[in-house]
Amino acid sequence: MADTPTVPAHLTGAVVRGAGRGRGLGFPTANIAADPGSRIPPPAIYSGWVVRHSTGVVHRGTISIGSNPTFCDTAEVHVEVYCHDTSDEFYGERVGLWFVARIRDTVKFASSGDLVRAARRDVLRSEALLASGHGRRVLGGALAAHRKPASV
């Protein structure tokens, strides 16, 4: 059973280039440079909504926060999202990630094949969480926040 989401429930940032490994794995991710001062949720795999600020388009996503220990030996934390419903690359765009639920811990897998099999299960789980009542409520909050003018 997935845990309840950690707070803060969302973060914003710009889409930047990652290592370029994800496409070869079959899980291309948008790498997010979180805005300065953002509180980044603890390393884990999460389900969440991705709001593209320029257009208001929302995608279903599975978010990886962590140091990618399967591939990297550094402690640098990456914030990445795999969008289930688009193959668009949106470099340079500003996005909001709205966290719905934590799915599992980040794992150092023995092979990239093991990671891909786990990621496939994560995406199925994430789809169910996004479609749940809680997932729909988080979407409602994300849409309301996006429509609200920045200042009045």
User: How far is Cα 55 from Cα 150, in angstroms, rounded to an integer?
Assistant: 15
What is the nearest approach in angstroms of ligand FMN to the Cβ of residue 144?
27
Residue 60 three-state SS: strand
x/- site string to ligand FMN, residues 92 to 131, per CB under 6 A?
Answer: --------------xx-x-----x--xx--x---------
SS (H, E, C) 46-76: EEEEEEECCCCCEEEEEEEEECCCCCCCCCC
In terms of residues, how long is the chain? 152
For residue 118, which amino acid is it? Answer: A
Residue 61 binds to ligand FMN (criterion: CB under 6 A)? no
Exactly one of 10, 11, 27, 139 binds ligand FMN (CB under 6 A); which one?
Answer: 27
User: How far is Cα 131 from Cα 65, in angstroms, rounded to an integer?
Assistant: 22
Residue 22 binds to ligand FMN (criterion: CB under 6 A)? yes
24 or 37: CB nearest ligand FMN: 24
Q: Which residues, listed in sequence order, are joined to residue 47 by a DSSP beta bridge?
A: 62, 101
Residue 69 binds to ligand FMN (criterion: CB under 6 A)? yes
- Tell me which residues touch ligand FMN (CB under 6 A): 18-22, 27, 29, 31, 45, 62, 64, 68-71, 80, 82, 106-107, 109, 115, 118-119, 122
